[in-house]
Amino acid sequence: MIPDNGLRARRLGIDTHSETVVFLRKDCSVCRSEGFTSHNRILLSSGAHHAIATLYQVESDILGCDEAGLSDATWRALGLKEGDFITVQHAPPVESLSLVRSRIFGHALGEADFQHIVPDIVAGRYSAIEVTSFITACAAQPLARDEVCFLTRAMVDAGQRLRWDQRIIADKHSVGGLPGNRTTPIIVAICTALGLVMPKTSSHAITSPAGTADTMETLAPVDLDERALRAVVQREGGCIAWGGAMRLSPADDILIRIEHALDIDSEGQMIASILSKKIAAGATHLVIDMPVGPTAKVRGAQAAASLTAGLAAVAENFGIRIQVMMGDGNQPIGRGIGPALEARDVLAVLTGRPEAPQDLRGRALALAGGLLEMSGGAAAGQGIKLATAALDDGRAWTKFQRICEAQGGMRTPPVSSHRKIIAATRDGAVLSIDNRRIARLAKLAGAPQAKAAGIALHVRLGDMVSAGTPLCTLHAEAAGELAYALSYADANADIFGIGAS
**Catalytic residue numbers, as ranges:** 265
Q: Please give the Cα distance from 233 to 162 (Å, whole number).
A: 12
Contacts of a copy of itself in 456-495 (CB under 8 A): 478, 480-481, 483-484, 486-487, 490
Separation CA 102–CA 99 (nearest Å): 5
Min dist CB 53 to a copy of itself, Å, is: 14
Range 392-411, binding a copy of itself (CB under 8 A): none
Q: Which is nearer to a copy of itself, 32 or 353 (CB)?
A: 32
DSSP-derived 3-state class of residue 241:
strand
Question: Is 241 near a copy of itself (CB under 8 A)?
Answer: no
CA distances from 103 to 100, 144, 386 (A): 5, 12, 49
Long-range contacts of 97-104 (CB under 8 A, 24+ apart): 97/126, 97/130, 100/130, 100/133, 100/134, 100/137, 103/134, 103/137, 103/138, 103/141, 104/133, 104/137
> Rounded to the nearest whole angstrom, what is the least distance from the CB of residue 265 to a copy of itself in the complex?
10
43 binds a copy of itself (CB under 8 A): no
In this structure, what DSSP letter does residue 412 have?
Answer: P
Helix axis angle for 97-104 and 111-122, nearest 10°, is 120
Radius of gyration over alpha carbons of the chain, in Å?
25
Minimum CB distance to a copy of itself, residue 191 (Å): 33
Which range binds a copy of itself by CB under 8 A, 54-62, 187-195, 349-357, 385-393? 54-62
CB 128 → a copy of itself: shortest distance, Å?
5
Using CB under 8 A as the binding rule, whether residue 264 contacts a copy of itself is answered as yes
Q: How many chain residues are in contact with a copy of itself, going by CB under 8 A?
A: 64
**Smallest distance from a copy of itself to CB 49, Å:** 22
Amino acid, res. 138: C
- Applying CB under 8 A, the span of 9-17, 190-198, 239-247, 388-396 interacting with a copy of itself comes to 9-17
Task: Choose between 5 and 375: whose C-beta lies nearer to a copy of itself.
Answer: 5
Minimum CB separation of residue 205 from a copy of itself in Å reads: 10
Binding of a copy of itself by 139 (CB under 8 A):
yes
One character per residue 152-191, x = contact with a copy of itself (rule: CB under 8 A):
----------------------------------------
Which letter, b or e, does each residue of 143-173 get, where b requires 16 or more Cβ atoms within 10 Å of its Cβ?
Answer: beeebbbbbbbbbbbbbeebeeeeebbbbbb
| Piece in contact with a copy of itself (CB under 8 A), picked from 6-14, 153-161, 242-250, 330-338 | 6-14
Neighbouring CB atoms inside 10 A of 123's CB total 16
DSSP-assigned beta bridge partners for residue 246: none
Chosen residue from 49, 81, 101, 235 binding a copy of itself by CB under 8 A = 101
Cis previous bond, 332, omega within 30: no
Alpha helices in 52-110 (DSSP H): 72-78, 97-104
**Which residues 103-132 are close enough to bind a copy of itself by CB under 8 A?**
103-106, 127-130, 132
Strand partners, 68: 9, 24
SS3 336: strand
- Interface positions with a copy of itself (CB under 8 A): 1-3, 11-17, 23, 26, 29, 32-35, 38-39, 56-60, 62, 71-72, 97, 101, 103-106, 127-130, 132-133, 135-137, 139-141, 257-258, 261-264, 266, 443-444, 446, 449, 478, 480-481, 483-484, 486-487, 490
